[in-house]
Amino acid sequence: MIYFDYASTTPVRAEVLEAYEKILHTYYANADSLHQEGRKVHTLLEQSRANIAQLFHVRPSEILYASCASEANNYALKGFALANQNRGKHIITSCAEHSSIQSSARQLEEVFGFEVTYLPLHADGRVHLEDVKQALRKDTILVSIMLVNNETGCINPIEEIATYVHAHSRAVVHSDMVQGLGKMTLPLAAVDMATFSAHKIFGLKGSGILYHREHLRLLALISAGQQEGGLRGGTSNAPTEIVFAKTLRLALEEQEAHIAHVRELNAYARAQLQTVRDIEINSPAEALPFILNFSCLSIGSEIMLNALDARGICVSAQSTCNSRGKAISHVLLAMGKDQLRATHAVRLSFSHLSTRQEIDFFIRALKEIIDEYATR
């Protein structure tokens, strides 16, 4: 099997799994129980929060554990907007965000009477500061723009956007940094909130984080007990949350080596793709090398994915969360690519585990599939 779908999810690394199993067996008490076993778990949980905060150069009280990045994005959008609607009801986001941002924004519009401006993408696959400037209003309370697009790897100018928004408004800036973590230097200091997911960095599924500046008011989306400062009730998923710190530390320690490996691999894959007929590369050269999006103009995404799958190669067409919808990439359309390219897209996503041999195998399979299925 060849796995080129690391942007969708990653396998758990052995060190994380080992730590998780140990904690699961030993520290099963409720982190909020007052007895000594509960206190031990609570201490580990808070130690993990402190370690995460240290790795991000923020305060422990600014780290909110969540069940996934989708949940953290819901907190950033709905949790923030609903708690701050007295200051204004306008939000700016982009048309290319993850479904957890898009659906939250829609819900704020349709159910809670907010107004949302969806910024376009440009041909470079990025949101441009000019558009943010135009959209910013007196009643804008939140600007949420992702750092790295999950379909193309395009990197948005978050620092530039946040600096402008902070200088010209009272709006808060959130960035979904899920696809950037462990893969680039993060502009975390520039933003007020940011979202992360453990399973994209060889950690556990069901584990996300929202970084939120201490002074920000958020509404509790799960009303229950005192957990997570009262913002997110329910018995803490302590073992999962405790190993986030280790997952993050390992990802950051190895970041430079991973980037170097994947950069080289991406260049190799691009060069090899140039030798295949009907292929147009959609990810610009400046995109994050971990994601490489292309279209095969003679074969639709679905047929291509199935044909690759039959040869033991795992790839995606678009965001995995939209994979059961219609096979058209709204991100590519938003970049100005035509309908053909948007319905014929394939997303390769790499990691430090990916190899040249895998690329070679993939390219051979791609050529065979095109010879067999091409419609032109």
d(CA 353, CA 139): 47
For residue 256, the minimal CB distance to ligand PLP (Å) is: 22
Question: What DSSP character marks residue 367?
Answer: H
Of 179 and 343, which CB lies nearer to ligand PLP in the complex structure?
Answer: 179
Among 33, 103, 163, 320, binds ligand PLP (CB under 6 A): 320
* Residue placing its CB nearer to ligand PLP in the complex, 93 or 197: 197
Q: How far apart are CA 207 and CA 189, in angstroms?
A: 22
Q: Identify which range of 28-36, 64-72, 116-124, 309-317 contacts ligand PLP by CB under 6 A.
A: 64-72
Minimum CB distance to ligand PLP, residue 95 (Å): 14
291 binds ligand PLP (CB under 6 A): no
User: In the complex with ligand PLP, which residue's Cβ is closer, 89 or 330?
Assistant: 330
The C-alpha torsion from 330 through 331 and 333 to 337, rounded to 10°, is -150
CA distance 51 to 55: 6
Minimum separation from the CB atom of position 98 to ligand PLP (A):
4
Q: Does 323 bind ligand PLP (CB under 6 A)?
A: no
Give, in order, the Cα–Cα distances in Å from 293 to each of 70, 96, 153, 333.
23, 15, 8, 13
Instruction: Give the nearer residue to ligand PLP in terms of CB position, either 88 or 289.
Output: 289
CA–CA dist 132, 126 (Å, integer): 12
Assign 303 to helix, strand or coil: helix
Q: Using the structure block, give the residue that is written with the tokens 């609570």.
A: 42
349 forms part of the interface with ligand PLP (CB under 6 A): no
Asked if 237 is part of the footprint of ligand PLP (rule: CB under 6 A), the reply reads no
Read off the amino acid at residue 39: R
Between residues 236 and 240, which has the closer beta carbon with respect to ligand PLP? 240
String marking each residue 179-198 x if it binds ligand PLP according to CB under 6 A = x-----------------x-
Residue 68 binds ligand PLP (CB under 6 A): yes
Pick from 29, 95, 321, 365: which binds ligand PLP (CB under 6 A)?
321
Positions marked active-site:
321
**Structure tokens, 76:** 């950033």
**278 conformational bin, left if phi > 0, alpha if psi -120 to 50, beta if neither:** left
Taking CB under 6 A as the binding criterion, the range among 68-76, 115-123, 283-291, 368-376 that sits at the site for ligand PLP is 68-76
Please identify which residue in 208, 239, 289, 300 interacts with ligand PLP, judged by CB under 6 A.
208
Rounded to whole angstroms, the Cα distance separating 30 from 64 reads 18
- Using CB under 6 A, which of 63, 84, 142, 176 touches ligand PLP? 176
69 near ligand PLP, rule: CB under 6 A: yes
| Dihedral, CA of residue 24, residue 69, residue 308 and residue 123, to nearest 10 | -160
DSSP for 265-283 reads HHHHHHHHHTTSTTEEE-S
Nearer to ligand PLP, 74 or 266 (CB): 74
Does residue 240 interact with ligand PLP by CB under 6 A? no
Which of 63, 165, 178, 335 binds ligand PLP (CB under 6 A)? It is: 178
Instruction: Give the torsion sign (CA, 211, 215, 219, 225).
Output: positive
* 111 Cβ neighbours under 8 A, 6+ residues apart: none
Least distance CB 320 / ligand PLP (angstroms): 6
Contact residues for 105 (Cβ-Cβ < 8 A; gap 6+):
77, 91, 93, 97, 114, 116, 118, 144
Is 203 a binding residue for ligand PLP by CB under 6 A? The answer is no
Q: Distance between CA atoms of 283 and 290, rounded to whole angstroms? A: 11
Per CB under 6 A, does 221 bind ligand PLP?
Answer: no
Residue 70 sits in the site that holds ligand PLP (CB under 6 A): yes
> What is the distance of C-alpha 61 from the center of its chain?
22
> Binding to ligand PLP (CB under 6 A): which residues in 83-112?
98, 100
Q: Which residues bind ligand PLP (CB under 6 A)?
A: 68-70, 98, 100, 146, 150, 176, 178-179, 197, 199, 208, 319-321
